């Protein structure tokens, strides 16, 4: 007898194949049957009228562990992910201490294994002197899920702004390099353009030309070495143009991600948000956000990355407001709202949030509704929109820039390797633990 059968849902694959209505059977944490699944299962789910997708993969989160448990940790951050339909998170290295050595990776792995309610992968932070660390991990067959390089300073201490050294990283290593694309020299040059205490001043100090210069550096390095590079958190329509030029020359070499806040907020929201809207790269114009939404719907953006970067409200309103916006609780509901409004297809949503990230980060068993794939599944049932309330949030930071926004209901059910973690926005089995992703 199968462990679980979900019956009569519209099955939405991560590979943009045509959707079909059918059943899906699960045993021992894997998908073992698709189509008509006869016979009873231990758990039967009636899913007519609902949409079953591979669990979303968020390729960019900051779960603040180790270092800032008051803001977030693996338990709270992954409850937010799971309840919102995200079943795998890739955690960034700018924790305290930063994840820059095998020992630090091991320490973070232990924290995640003990507490993560969804699956996880861990980035290694690139520094001026740890290329040998990465090469040793690759030799042992234990590379990090990806490497992160900060071409401009952001939160934490991981600035890596020496293109000469980056040249060596790309020449010598195999691992996907993800870049925070703001060029430090141009950030330095703009440092007197705005008041550091003011959120609009923050935007002036991190101008579009810094992002465009860094994307040009990153794509240049990628093409010179034929090495895969991934551009984090696009914020500008003009970045899309640079990436289109790169893709015309060599498709798939340079990929990109977009955050919910660069899709669904703009500098017009800064008046209402104040320091809560301070983020790197900054919120851009409404025109940029509209162009990013168009590009997402047209398949020109590869991945969702929430850049979930929780800070407490008191910190954000304090004298040195840190940059960062939380997104795990709300990202998928914002995107499903686009689907229900007819601006994004279910197939494209699944591709951008599961199929394409799984392929880009080479995650074994993820991102597909296929026989043998991991049974990380999310069931969405369209329902009346409701205004987002703070009581719905699982992130420890307990705020969202979208409070009050009309959003579709949270996913009806979320399974991690076939175990029900969350239903209708609530954690129903807090004993579920995710596993570290395996890469090919
Ligand atoms: Zn980030």
State the CATH class of domain 2-52+372-427: mainly beta
Centre of ligand 1 to C-alpha 36, Å, is 42
Cα–Cα distance between 163 and 180 in angstroms, integer? Answer: 13
Centre of ligand 1 to C-alpha 257, Å, is 11
pLDDT for the residue numbered 251: 97
Which of 121-130, 149-158, 229-238 has the lowest average pLDDT? Answer: 149-158
pLDDT for the residue numbered 222: 97
Taking Cα atoms as reference points, which of 365, 375, 334 lies closest to residue 53? 375
For 293-318, give the DSSP string.
Answer: HHHHHTT---EE---B----HHHHTS
pLDDT band per the 50, 70, 90 thresholds, residue 297:
very high
pLDDT for the residue numbered 98: 97
pLDDT for the residue numbered 280: 96
In terms of DSSP bridges, do strands 229-234 and 419-423 run parallel, antiparallel, or are they unpaired? unpaired
pLDDT for the residue numbered 319: 87
pLDDT band per the 50, 70, 90 thresholds, residue 397:
very high
Is residue 223 over pLDDT 80?
Answer: yes
pLDDT band per the 50, 70, 90 thresholds, residue 40:
very high
Domain map (residue ranges) of the chain: 2-52+372-427, 55-360
Segment 59-71, tens digit of pLDDT: 999 999 999 999 9
- Give the pLDDT mean for 188-217: 93
pLDDT for the residue numbered 107: 98
Centre of ligand 1 to C-alpha 34, Å, is 37
Place of tokens 């008191």: 314
Q: Do domains 2-52+372-427 and 55-360 have the same CATH topology?
A: no
Taking Cα atoms as reference points, which of 30, 68, 35 lies closest to residue 375? 30
Is residue 419 over pLDDT 90?
Answer: yes
Which of 50-54, 202-206, 242-246, 253-257 has the lowest average pLDDT? Answer: 202-206
- 3 state DSSP class of 147: strand
What are the residue numbers of the active site?
Answer: 307
- Give the pLDDT mean for 257-282: 97
Centre of ligand 1 to C-alpha 96, Å, is 14
- Give the pLDDT mean for 38-57: 97
Cα–Cα distance between 99 and 114 in angstroms, integer? Answer: 18
Is residue 156 over pLDDT 80?
Answer: no
Cα–Cα distance between 80 and 117 in angstroms, integer? Answer: 9
- Furthest-apart CA pair in the chain: how many Å? 69
pLDDT for the residue numbered 226: 97
- Give the pLDDT mean for 264-272: 97
- Cα angle: 79, vertex 80, 81; to 5 degrees: 90
Q: Containing H/E element for 406?
A: strand 406-407
Q: Which residues partner with 374 through β-bridges? A: 30
Phi, psi (deg, nearest 5) at residue 65: -125, 125
Centre of ligand 1 to C-alpha 291, Å, is 21
Centre of ligand 1 to C-alpha 359, Å, is 21
Token pair in block for residue 75: 């338990």
Cα–Cα distance between 214 and 180 in angstroms, integer? Answer: 8
Could you tell me the pTM of the whole model? 0.98
Centre of ligand 1 to C-alpha 163, Å, is 20
- Give the pLDDT mean for 299-324: 96
Is residue 115 over pLDDT 80?
Answer: yes
Centre of ligand 1 to C-alpha 307, Å, is 5
On whether the CB atoms of residues 229 and 253 are closer than 8 A, the answer is: yes
- Give the pLDDT mean for 362-378: 98
Please list, in sequence order, all residues whose beta carbon lies within 8 angstroms of the beta carbon of residue 293, skipping any fewer than 6 positions away.
263, 264, 338, 343
Phi, psi (deg, nearest 5) at residue 9: -80, 160
Q: How far is CA 168 from the centre of its chain?
A: 27
pLDDT for the residue numbered 165: 87
Helices 74-83 + 102-115 axis angle, to 10 = 60
Token pair in block for residue 37: 């699944």
What is the fold of 55-360?
TIM Barrel (3.20.20)
Place of tokens 């980035």: 123
Averaged confidence pLDDT in the chain: 96
Q: Which residues partner with 2 through β-bridges? A: 41
Is residue 161 over pLDDT 80?
Answer: no
């Amino acid at each position: 007898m199968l462990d679980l059968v979900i019956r009569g849902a519209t099955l939405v694959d991560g590979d943009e194949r045509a959707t079909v209505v059918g059943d899906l059977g699960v045993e021992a944490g894997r998908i073992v049957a698709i189509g008509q699944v006869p016979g009873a299962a231990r758990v039967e789910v009636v899913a007519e009228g609902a949409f079953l997708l591979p669990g979303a993969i968020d390729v960019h989160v900051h779960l603040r562990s180790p270092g800032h448990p008051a803001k977030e940790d693996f338990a709270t951050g992954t409850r937010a992910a799971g309840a919102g339909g995200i079943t795998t998170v890739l955690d960034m290295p700018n924790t305290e201490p930063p994840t820059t050595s095998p020992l630090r990776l091991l320490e973070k792995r232990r924290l995640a294994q003990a507490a993560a309610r969804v699956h996880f992968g861990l980035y290694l932070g690139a520094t001026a002197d740890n290329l040998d660390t990465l090469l040793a991990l690759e030799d042992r067959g234990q590379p990090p899920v990806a490497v992160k390089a900060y071409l401009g300073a952001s939160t934490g201490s991981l600035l890596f702004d020496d293109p000469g050294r980056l040249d060596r990283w790309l020449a010598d290593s195999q691992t996907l390099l993800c870049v925070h694309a703001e060029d430090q020299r141009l950030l330095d040059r703009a440092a007197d353009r705005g008041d550091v205490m003011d959120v609009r001043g923050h935007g002036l100090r991190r101008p579009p030309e810094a992002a465009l210069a860094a994307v040009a550096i990153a794509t240049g390095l990628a093409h010179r070495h034929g090495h895969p590079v991934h551009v984090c958190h696009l914020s500008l329509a003009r970045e899309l143009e640079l990436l289109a030029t790169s893709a015309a020359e060599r498709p798939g070499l340079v990929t990109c991600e977009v955050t919910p806040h660069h899709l669904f907020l703009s500098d017009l929201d800064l008046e209402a948000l104040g320091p809560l809207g301070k983020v790197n790269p900054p919120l851009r114009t409404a025109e940029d956000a509209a162009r990013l939404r168009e590009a997402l719907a047209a398949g020109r953006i590869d991945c969702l990355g929430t850049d979930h970067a929780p800070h407490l409200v008191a910190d954000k309103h304090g004298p040195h407001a840190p940059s960062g916006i939380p997104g795990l609780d709300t990202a998928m509901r914002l995107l499903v709202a686009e689907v229900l409004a007819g601006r994004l297809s279910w197939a494209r949503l699944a591709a951008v949030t599961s199929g394409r990230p799984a392929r880009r980060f080479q995650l074994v068993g993820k991102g597909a509704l296929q026989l043998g794939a991991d049974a990380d599944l999310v069931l969405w049932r369209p329902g009346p929109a409701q205004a987002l309330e703070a009581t719905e949030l699982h992130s420890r930071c307990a705020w969202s820039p979208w409070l009050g926004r009309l959003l579709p209901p949270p996913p009806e059910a979320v399974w991690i390797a076939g175990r029900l973690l969350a239903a209708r926005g609530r954690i129903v089995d807090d004993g579920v633990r995710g596993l570290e992703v395996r890469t090919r």
